[in-house]
Amino acid sequence: EVGTTSWRRKISAGKILWRRKILANDQTRVSCVAGIPGLPGPPGTPGPSVKCPCHRQSAFTVKLSGQLPSPSKPVPFTEVLYNAQRDLQEDTGVFTCRVPGNYHFLFDVDLHHCKVTVQLMRDKSSVLEKHQVSTKEPRSLSGMLTLPLHVGEKVWLEAKVETEKPEQARVTIYFSGFLT
């Protein structure tokens, strides 16, 4: 009825879906109580287009076998197993960060007839140090660490090998790193 205030309801399965109030000034107010969702609205306007930068990758795996490394110097590796991005300088064994982010580094050492100390270095500071001794039986040693790196930071391994029988001492070192 126009000119008076009244309530009308839509009821389905015992639930009030909506109610409408007709006001004295011929306006109608509808309020939802509970019920079924309505139809989807029209699609929104598209956002600005942005070119996504290609995700840079960085990974390497190198190996040293045969010769014993010099102490207090980066280990020079004798074999490159993977270094597609060339972030590890093969002749020095030093990794230089070109893509900032979190890097996972790991090393694995097989030794026989010697004592080995391996340090993972980050810009001249030791961030991880491991020791192992092998007399008659071959032994292994491993370490891993995740480091946040900025462009230009350097990471490498240093290894100190002590032995009484250099002709019998054997060391094989694997070193890997990759951007996570």
Are both 25 and 96 inside the same structural domain? no
Q: Which domain holds residue 171?
A: 59-179
**51 within a domain of the structure (yes/no):** no
Are both 24 and 98 inside the same structural domain? no
CB-based contacts of 21, cutoff 8 Å, min separation 6: 5, 6, 7, 28, 29, 30, 31
pLDDT value, residue 58: 95
Q: Which residue has tokens 């930068």?
A: 53
Are both 66 and 149 inside the same structural domain? yes
**175 within a domain of the structure (yes/no):** yes
**53 within a domain of the structure (yes/no):** no
Are both 30 and 64 inside the same structural domain? no
The two structure tokens encoding residue 22: 């007709």
Please give the model's pTM, rounded to 2 decimal places.
0.69
* One pLDDT digit (tens) per residue for the chain, 180 residues: 454 445 555 555 555 555 666 665 666 665 555 566 778 889 989 888 877 666 789 999 999 987 777 888 999 999 999 999 999 998 899 999 999 999 999 999 999 999 999 999 999 999 999 999 998 899 999 999 999 999 999 999 999 999 888 888 899 999 999 999
Radius of gyration of the chain (CA): 34
